[in-house]
Amino acid sequence: MTDPIRHLAAAGRLGRFYVDGAWRDPSGRERAAVIDPATEAPIAEIALGDAADVEAAVAAARRAFPAWSRTTPAARAALLDRVHALVLERLELFARALSAEMGAAITYARTAQVPLAAAHLRVARDNLATFRFLSQRGTTAIAREAIGVCALITPWNWPLYQITAKVGPALAAGCTVVLKPSELSPLSALLFAEVMHEAGCPAGVFNLVNGTGPVVGEALATHPEVDMVSITGSTRAGVLVAQAAAPTVKRVAQELGGKSPNVVLPDADLARCIPLGVAAAMRNLGQSCSAPTRMIVPRDRLAEVESLAEATAAGFVVGDPSDEATTHGPIANRAQFDRIQRMIRIGLEEGAKLVTGGPGLPEGCDSGLFARPTVFSEVRRDMAIAQEEIFGPVLAILPYDTVEEAIAIANDTIYGLGAHVHGTDLDQVRRVASQIRAGQVHLNAPDWDPQAPFGGYKRSGNGREYGREGMEEYLETKAILGYYR
């Protein structure tokens, strides 16, 4: 069966949580509809948890932690290997769930959302195989030990991808987890819980409780038996989690908002880098925290940049996400759609030059949460569309006169998550990249690297995900003096 909703309904998963190795009924009766953003029609109903559900899940994770943290790396790697294989085996089921719950174009779900999510599991397995949990420094042993019970709070925009980016390294480190996926895109999380069960995950090592941030998220952040919270979400949500976690002095890792720059240097090949930059900004409908939505370009080449950007956007196919010809489906939810429309109108009011797109539904779309791929030019760095995270298919082109000015523009936000630099002179590209205050910088559109650590400077958060550094977030450091003689 490749229909995820029928699959989950038939198995009785939609109204239940996965706790202590079993599917369990929720404590309360609160429910939430899952909305298809292409039609705005409800397609499923899930249970929403409360503090009692969190208590049960955390207790299960705490009971499981001593045994799981003492398992061998080989045993943990074997579990991750089975989970990785099962995710790929069910690629079509996951892809259809992602398309239904958050509007991902089915081809994009198949070729990006699911395979990239699976890669995080493979990387966690591979890093675990070579990681030194005990090292020598003189006569002292440096031990890296699992931090404990981890609450994992994941967003709606890359639902499966962010789950595996947290669950994989947390389990590899020897931690036990309680996952709270977004209540707006919960279907792929329920499917993932099935995979964890079928892979033979020991009871209590992985737990899932659906619910809202103010209820389940807060209960996890304040719980004294939770040792760490890892959250991917808005900067506002990250601040609230950190404040809630502070009294219990737990570790908080935050991957938050962004307004990433794409610096196009004077010698860049525009015919190559502008289409790539537009595509990167609008990948996943721009609903990516690291999307390079500020394109910073030489003023004397602005007209050429505008023409290339307009042509690239014209090639996008916005429509039914189940249609294999569609490149861009709907915005994931009504609140985000309304924000995008408001920010596009603000851009017009601020006097930015509209190159293509604009407010309203795209041609051929009479209903649903579809947005027009929009490009603004002649954007000033003080405009709202240059400073605020829009989280949609809206690109701002900002001109510069000198490379020093370009770097200043790139750094002129409260965020510092990602950045891109394009140019022919690689030494200059590297010099510019070294001056950008961001946690990850892409030079000349390289291939995605799941081993590259990802995280933010400034208000884009703290801590790192992906690669070896992603696993180290879930480890404590213990010095044992006199261990070696």
How does pLDDT run across 314-346, given as a tens digit for each residue?
A: 999 999 999 999 999 999 999 999 999 999 999
With CA atoms as reference, report the closest residue to 401 among 303, 302, 305, 299.
299
* Residue for token pair 């789950």: 163
The average pLDDT across 432-454 equals 98
Residue 1 pLDDT: 64
Q: Are 333 and 299 in contact (CB under 8 A)?
A: no
How many Å apart are CA 368 and CA 321, to the nearest integer? Answer: 11
Single-letter amino acid, residue 225: E
Say how far apart CA 390 and CA 306 lie, in whole Å.
20
Task: For 178, list phi and psi in degrees, rounded to 5.
Answer: -125, 120
Angle at 333 between CA 91 and CA 342, to 5 degrees: 140
Query: 360: Cβ–Cβ under 8 A, 6 or more apart, which residues?
Result: 341, 372
What is the average pLDDT across 262-274? 98
Mean pLDDT of 160-179: 98
pLDDT at 435 over 90: yes
- Give the single-character DSSP code of 214: I
Cα gap 2→90, rounded to integer Å? 9
Dist. CA 28–CA 45, nearest whole Å: 14
Closest alpha carbon to 168 in 206, 197, 142: 206
Residue in 64, 389, 49 with CA at minimum distance from that of residue 196: 64
Q: For the chain, what is the mean pLDDT? A: 97
Instruction: Kindly state which CATH superfamily the domain 261-449 is placed in.
Output: Aldehyde Dehydrogenase; Chain A, domain 2 (3.40.309.10)
Cα 190–chain centre separation: 17
Predicted confidence at residue 2, as pLDDT, reads 82
Question: The whole model's pTM is what?
Answer: 0.97
Q: What's residue 328's pLDDT?
A: 98
Cβ contacts of residue 89 below 8 Å, gap of 6+?
A: none
Q: Of 447, 449, 454, 458, whose CA–CA distance to 470 is shortest? A: 454
For residues 394 and 343, give the distance between their C-alpha atoms in angstroms, rounded to a whole number.
Answer: 9
Name the burial class of residue 427, with classes exposed (0-12), middle (13-18) and buried (19+) by CB atoms within 10 angstroms of its CB: exposed
Name every residue whose Cβ is closer than 8 Å to that of residue 338 and which is 6 or more positions away in sequence: none
476 DSSP β-pair partners: 145
> Which residues are identified as catalytic?
255, 289
Which helix or strand (DSSP H or E) is residue 69 part of? Answer: helix 51-69
pLDDT digits (tens, 9 = 90+) for 182-231: 999 999 999 999 999 999 999 999 999 999 999 999 999 999 999 999 99
pLDDT tens figures, 399-431 = 999 999 999 999 999 999 999 999 999 999 999
Question: N- to C-terminal Cα distance for the chain?
Answer: 61
Q: What is the pLDDT of residues 8-34, one digit of tens each?
A: 999 999 999 999 999 999 999 999 999
User: Quick one: pLDDT at residue 140?
Assistant: 98
How many whole angstroms separate alpha carbon 52 and alpha carbon 70?
Answer: 28
**Mean predicted confidence (pLDDT) in 161-180:** 98
The superfamily in CATH containing domain 4-256+461-480 is: Aldehyde Dehydrogenase; Chain A, domain 1 (3.40.605.10)
Cβ atoms of 368 and 277 within 8 Å: the answer is: no
What element of type H or E holds 152? strand 149-153
Q: Phi, psi (5° rounding) for residue 175?
A: -85, 160
Nearest alpha carbon to residue 43 among 93, 9, 18: 9
pLDDT at 266: 98
Separation of CA 80 from chain center: 20
Summarised one tens digit per residue, pLDDT across range 371-392 is 999 999 999 999 999 999 999 9
Instruction: Give the contacts of 132 (CB within 8 A, at least 6 positions apart).
Output: 144
| Strand 140-146, strand 475-480: pairing | antiparallel
Question: How large a percentage of the chain has pLDDT more than 90?
Answer: 99
For 238, phi and psi rounded to 5 degrees? -65, -40
Sole residue written with tokens 């001109």: 399
Kindly state the average pLDDT of the residues 253-270.
98
C-alpha dihedral sign at 168, 169, 170, 171: positive
441: helix, coil or strand?
A: strand
SS3 state at 451: coil
Residue 116: CB atoms within 10 Å: 16
Report the C-alpha gap between 185 and 97 in whole angstroms. Answer: 9
Q: What is the mean pLDDT of residues 42-63?
A: 98
Q: CATH 3.40.309.10 region(s) of the chain?
A: 261-449
CA 210 – CA 278 distance, rounded (Å): 35
Model pLDDT, residue 109: 98
All CATH 3.40.605.10 domain ranges in the chain, comma separated: 4-256+461-480
Neighbours of 472 (CB within 10 A): 17
* Cα torsion 394, 217, 225, 206: sign: negative
